[in-house]
Structures are given as structure tokens and as C-alpha cells.
RNA sequence: UCCUCUUUAGCUCAGUUGGUUAGAGCAUCUGACUGUUAAUCAGAGGGUCGUUGGUUCGAGCCCAACAAGAGGAGCCA
């Protein structure tokens, strides 16, 4: 092999031009052909598209070609020429071939055929070699970048809030304990309880369930900040939209009220969807076609009213519907399924939390577009949300997306010290442990707002995947921490 | 955690009111074919029917427990 540099398949295909001496490396997707010619579809992950290698048995030995099986890794050098076939513009006439890594076709778990997502989940270490998952993870990267770019361009600062937290007052769900104590021989104190004084941090510590409270501290100093980090919830949730370890984006903005907050969230969502449309066309085209194919055999009623690319364009081009919780309750109370008692939980009066079936009705049936619900009853929301003048509601907002449900949850934060401490008392939040948080209200407080965006839920929407375990490389769910 | 469903070849699935030797497509292997596009055509190999126990002359099929997976609910992002 000569010492020329590897060319990425994405670059070869986007240039689409013949070139004398070219070196490519990648993994074999399929091989086919006859005695006189062998065709190899090679993929290196730089694009969903494959490069066709053409091997003449006069140039490449039969023994070598025999080792070219699905999954094997190759290095191939030759001449890039205009393709004689119709499926591609250029192809590589192979002059020399090296097998970097063989893959026994009898044992390699990925076959050149369609696999179920459930099966691929069991071999999550190999699934990025498939079209679907390589597309999903290229898009996931693009969305990570787009989010950082969006906030950076607006003058936000990215804050790395702690992953290990000593605060158990965040109130956003069950936490994972962090400890270096010997679990088989826990030290006890005089009262017979576990003596955390002997633990690594001299106290009980957990993995974070939210960076919001820490982000608020920086919002009240740097004005506009956001977090983008891992989040851990030890809830026993077994659904297509919950993970025990997931990634969350939490902007926090000083001098912003609930309307500013909604404007920011809507602008961000439209920005990143547009970014995907502008920059991930090949992958989205593939996922779109995949979805159309999946629904081909379904009945008319079970098919989505819009397919992936149309849904994405729709979100970019249309404003989200904004209404209050109270208005939503009125719509639901007078809705057909409520009158005909089709809801499992009937809407009778003001104050109840909305169930998924209600959110789905509003988003998928009544408005048929993303919906922002605001001003929820204070009793069903967190202590830190700003109390409205009516005394019953808080300045909260949830953004609901079709097929996904809540993708964003946020609020204007309670900046008034007396109101905040009163609410903490009512909801049994230990104020004595949160002096650092209350200090922001004691010293130079100001109205501010923020929200949390579930990154994987965003990826579900953008890729059209339907199970959250298929949009994170190695999903952690109850009873499962493989790989 | 609750409810429902599923578990048969490497993968995706059929398998009748319980009956003798458990099938198909794809994949794999072998062969054919002068440029293929998930190539095509022909042939071959491949099974402790999730596990354990029970009912029965007889269980892939009926019953029970357990396990794994999926979907829905709750919690939320």
C-alpha cells in the first residue's frame, strides 16, 4: 500500500468526480457479483451513502475477495471513475485491497437485510453500523452542535453544573446515590443510622436530576446561561420516552418573564429543526423513506397525517399554539371524547393534572400542532415557579409535541424571597439546606426564567424514531445498564 | 410499579379442535451467470419450540410459576 491519505466517502460522493489515485477505508455492507467482477458496497460512516468498489479478479486474488464479507473492514486503493451502473455517479476500480479486519459471515450478527429495532437494541454495540442508527447518531451530533451554536450566537454562556450533587432538594424525582462506603459493611453512627460522615464527601451525595438551581445562580450574574449535560433519574419508568440517564438542556435567563421564556424556547426549537433540514438532508431523507415504508401496510387511520420531513417543515413554518391551562381545561371539558366518556380520566373541573390522553388530544386532534400550555395550578407544580396574582396559578409553561408529549418544561422563577420561602414551607422543601439558593433572592434579585429541554425527546421528534432507547447510544433503563 | 401482548432456525414469522418425521422468507454455504444495486437462479446445511413444573396415552399447542422483550398507564425531560 502506498502512503496516500484516506479520502472520506462523503467527500468522494459530494465531489462526484473521477480521480486517479484514491484510498478509502470502511466497512462492507454487501458484496455481490460473479466470476468476472465483484461489487462491494463500502460505508465509512461519513455519510449514509455507500461507495461502490469494483474488483476485477485479475487484479485482486480470489482468496482476498473471499474474506470480503458483510461487516469486514477494508482498505482499498484504486482509480475513481465514472460509474457504468446507474445507482451511483462514481465508483472505485480497486487496484489493491487490504483486509483490516475480517468478519465471519456465519457469526456476524448484522445481515444484509432489515432487522427489528428490538433485535438491534440487543446488539447496541454494533447497531451504529446500520443505516438507521448511523443516521440517528449523525443527526444527534448535528443537534448537539446546533444547540450550542444557537445559544452561543445569542450571547449565552454554557455552564457546567455539577453532576454529583449534595442537594436533595431539587424535587425532580428519585436520585441515584453516590458513595464510596463499603456496601457490605456500612459504618453506623451512635443512633444506629448510616454514618455518612465517613463517606467520601462527608455527607449524602447523589447524581444530579437537574442543573436548574445552579444555573439560576449563574443567570443572576452572567444574565444568559444554559447547561447541556447528563441527568439521572432513578424512577422505575418503563416507557418509550423515559431513560434513567439522559441529556438535558436548561437555559436560564435574567430579566426575562414567561413570554420571553416561551419565545426563546420556540425560537430554539425552530432553529434546531431548521438546522437539521438544512444540514442532515441525506439522513432525514432516509429516515423519511423508512417511515413511509413502515406505514405502507398500515390502515389509513393508523398512518400519520404527515410524514417526517413534512412534520419538520410544519414546525419550522408554523407558530406554536399558546393557551393557558384554564383554557385547555375548557376545551377538554367540552371535547367529544370527554362528553362521550372516552377519556379514561374524565375532565370534571379545574385543578386536576392533565393526563397523556388529554395532552395528546390537544396536540394531535384539536390543534394539530405544537402547543404551549401556561399558568398551571400551583398545587401541581414545583416550589420555585413564580406565583401569579390570582393566587391559584404559577407562571409555568410546558411545550407539547405530537407523538412525544412534553418536550420542554419551564417557568418564570419566583424571585420574591417571601413568596419563595412561604412556598418552600408549604411544600416541605428544607430551606435551611438551600441558603445558597435563597441568597440570590436576598441579594440583588430580579425576575428570571428558564426551562428544561429533554435532548433525547428532541431527537425522537427530529428523527421520527418512536422509542427513546433508539436515539441514545447505550440506553440506561430499569434493569438494564449493558455495554 | 400496574395492565395487556409476545417468546418456534442466525433474523422475521407461520404452525388448524392437542396426534406420528415442526414449515416459509431472508441470511449463510456450494454451484451457475460478462456490470451488479438488499443482484438473480438452482441446491444444501441449520431447531432441547424461553425455563421449570403440571394435565394427558400423547404437548410447539392446555394450566401454573419464573425469566426476557414489547406496547400502554403513572412519574417526568
CATH classification of the domain holding A47: 2.40.50.140
- Mean of pLDDT values over A51-56: 95
For residues A276 and A413, state if they share a domain. Answer: yes
For residues A437 and A304, state if they share a domain. Answer: yes
In a domain, A121, yes or no: no
For residues A70 and A136, state if they share a domain. Answer: no
Q: Which pLDDT band, with edges at 50, 70 and 90, does A326 fall under?
A: very high
For residues A239 and A295, state if they share a domain. Answer: yes
In a domain, A3, yes or no: no
For residues A168 and A262, state if they share a domain. Answer: yes
User: CA-to-C1' distance for A34 and B32, Å?
Assistant: 9
Beta-bridge partners for A247: A230
- Mean of pLDDT values over A451-467: 96
Q: Is the pLDDT of residue A290 over 80?
A: yes
> Which protein residue has its CA closest to C1' of B29?
A106
Q: Is the pLDDT of residue A173 over 70?
A: yes
Q: Which pLDDT band, with edges at 50, 70 and 90, does A168 fall under?
A: low
For residues A97 and A161, state if they share a domain. Answer: no
Question: The sheet that has A164-165: what strands, in order across it?
Answer: A164-165, A205-207, A177-178
User: CA-to-C1' distance for A259 and B17, Å?
Assistant: 67
Q: Which pLDDT band, with edges at 50, 70 and 90, does A431 fall under?
A: confident
Nucleotide nearest to A482 (CA to C1'): B68
Q: Is the pLDDT of residue A170 over 70?
A: no
Which pLDDT score is estimated for A483? 86
Q: Is the pLDDT of residue A413 over 90?
A: yes
User: CA-to-C1' distance for A116 and B15, Å?
Assistant: 22
For residues A147 and A63, state if they share a domain. Answer: no
pLDDT in tens, A200-246: 999 999 999 999 999 999 999 999 999 999 999 999 999 999 999 99
For residues A386 and A429, state if they share a domain. Answer: yes
Q: Is the pLDDT of residue A418 over 90?
A: yes
Q: Is the pLDDT of residue A169 over 60?
A: no
For residues A376 and A418, state if they share a domain. Answer: yes
User: CA-to-C1' distance for A26 and B25, Å?
Assistant: 30
Q: Name the burial class of residue A81, with classes exposed (0-12), middle (13-18) and buried (19+) by CB atoms within 10 angstroms of its CB.
A: middle
Where is the domain boundary, A80, A101, A122? A101
Where is the domain boundary, A51, A86, A101? A101
In a domain, A339, yes or no: no
Beta-bridge partners for A19: A80
Q: Is the C-alpha dihedral spanning A379, A246, A461, A235 positive or negative?
A: negative
- Mean of pLDDT values over A433-450: 95
Which pLDDT score is estimated for A295? 83
Q: Is the pLDDT of residue A1 over 90?
A: no
Nucleotide nearest to A455 (CA to C1'): B77
Which pLDDT score is estimated for A35? 86
As a whole number of angstroms, the distance between CA A199 and CA A230 comes to 24
Question: Please, which positions of strand B sit below 7 A from a protein CB?
Answer: 1-2, 10-13, 26-29, 32-40, 68-77
Q: Name the burial class of residue A464, with classes exposed (0-12), middle (13-18) and buried (19+) by CB atoms within 10 angstroms of its CB.
A: buried
For residues A240 and A298, state if they share a domain. Answer: yes
For residues A438 and A312, state if they share a domain. Answer: yes
In a domain, A119, yes or no: no
Give the count of alpha carbons within 13 A of A135, CB side only.
Answer: 23
Q: Which three cell numbers stand for residue A200?
A: 467520601
**Residue ranges making up the domain that contains A19:** 9-101
User: CA-to-C1' distance for A293 and B23, Å?
Assistant: 28
User: DSSP states of A347-392 as a string?
Assistant: --STTPPPPHHHHHIIIIIIS-S-EEEEEEEGGGS-TTBPBPTTSS
- ipTM of this complex: 0.92
Scan for cell 412561604, then name that residue. A422
Nucleotide nearest to A85 (CA to C1'): B35
**CATH for A226:** 3.30.930.10
**How many domains does chain A contain in total?**
2
For residues A295 and A444, state if they share a domain. Answer: yes
Amino acid at each position: 500500500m502506498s502512503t496516500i491519505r484516506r479520502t472520506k466517502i462523503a467527500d468522494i460522493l459530494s465531489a462526484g468526480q473521477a480521480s486517479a489515485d484514491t484510498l478509502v477505508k470502511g466497512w462492507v455492507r454487501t458484496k455481490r457479483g460473479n466470476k468476472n467482477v465483484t461489487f462491494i458496497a463500502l460505508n465509512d460512516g461519513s455519510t449514509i451513502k455507500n461507495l461502490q468498489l469494483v474488483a476485477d479478479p485479475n487484479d485482486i486474488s480470489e482468496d482476498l475477495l473471499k474474506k470480503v464479507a458483510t461487516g469486514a473492514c477494508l482498505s482499498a486503493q484504486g482509480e475513481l471513475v465514472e460509474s457504468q451502473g446507474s445507482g451511483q455517479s462514481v465508483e472505485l476500480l480497486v487496484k489493491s485491497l487490504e483486509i483490516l479486519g475480517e468478519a465471519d459471515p456465519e457469526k456476524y450478527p448484522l445481515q444484509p437485510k432489515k432487522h427489528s429495532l428490538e433485535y438491534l437494541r440487543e446488539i447496541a454495540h454494533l447497531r451504529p453500523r446500520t443505516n438507521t442508527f448511523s443516521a440517528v447518531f449523525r443527526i444527534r451530533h448535528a443537534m448537539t452542535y446546533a444547540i450550542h451554536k444557537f445559544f452561543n450566537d445569542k450571547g449565552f454562556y454554557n455552564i457546567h453544573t455539577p453532576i454529583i450533587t449534595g442537594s436533595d432538594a431539587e424535587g425532580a424525582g428519585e436520585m441515584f446515590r453516590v458513595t464510596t462506603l463499603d456496601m457490605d459493611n456500612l459504618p453506623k453512627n451512635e443512633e444506629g443510622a448510616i454514618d455518612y460522615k465517613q463517606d467520601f464527601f462527608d455527607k449524602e451525595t447523589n447524581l444530579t436530576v437537574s442543573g436548574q438551581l445552579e444555573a439560576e445562580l449563574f443567570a443572576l450574574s452572567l444574565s444568559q446561561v444554559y447547561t447541556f449535560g447528563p441527568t439521572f433519574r432513578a424512577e422505575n419508568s418503563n416507557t418509550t420516552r423515559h431513560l434513567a440517564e439522559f441529556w438535558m438542556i436548561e437555559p436560564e435567563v435574567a430579566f426575562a418573564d414567561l413570554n420571553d421564556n416561551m419565545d426563546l424556547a420556540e425560537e430554539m426549537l425552530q432553529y434546531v429543526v431548521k438546522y437539521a433540514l438544512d444540514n442532515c438532508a441525506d439522513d432525514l431523507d432516509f429516515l423519511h423513506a423508512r417511515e413511509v415504508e413502515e406505514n405502507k401496510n398500515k390502515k389509513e387511520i393508523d398512518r400519520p397525517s404527515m410524514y417526517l420531513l413534512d412534520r419538520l417543515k410544519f414546525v419550522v413554518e408554523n407558530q406554536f399554539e399558546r393557551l393557558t391551562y384554564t383554557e385547555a381545561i375548557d376545551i377538554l371539558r367540552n371535547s367529544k371524547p370527554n362528553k362521550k366518556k372516552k377519556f379514561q380520566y374524565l375532565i370534571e373541573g379545574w385543578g386536576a393534572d392533565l393526563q397523556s390522553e388529554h395532552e395528546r388530544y390537544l396536540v394531535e386532534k384539536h390543534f394539530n400542532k405544537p402547543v404551549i400550555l401556561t399558568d398551571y395550578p400551583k398545587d401541581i407544580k414545583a416550589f420555585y415557579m413564580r406565583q401569579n396574582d390570582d393566587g391559584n396559578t404559577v407562571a409555568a409553561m410546558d411545550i407539547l409535541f405530537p407523538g412525544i408529549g412534553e418536550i420542554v418544561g419551564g417557568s418564570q422563577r419566583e424571585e420574591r424571597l417571601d413568596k419563595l420561602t412561604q412556598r418552600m414551607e408549604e411544600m416541605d422543601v428544607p430551606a435551611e439546606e438551600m441558603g445558597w439558593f435563597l441568597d440570590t433572592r436576598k441579594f440583588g434579585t430580579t425576575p428570571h426564567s428558564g426551562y428544561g429541554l429533554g435532548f433525547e425527546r428532541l431527537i425522537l421528534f427530529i428523527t421520527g424514531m418512536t422509542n427513546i432507547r433508539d436515539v441514545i447510544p447505550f440506553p440506561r433503563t430499569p434493569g438494564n445498564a449493558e455495554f
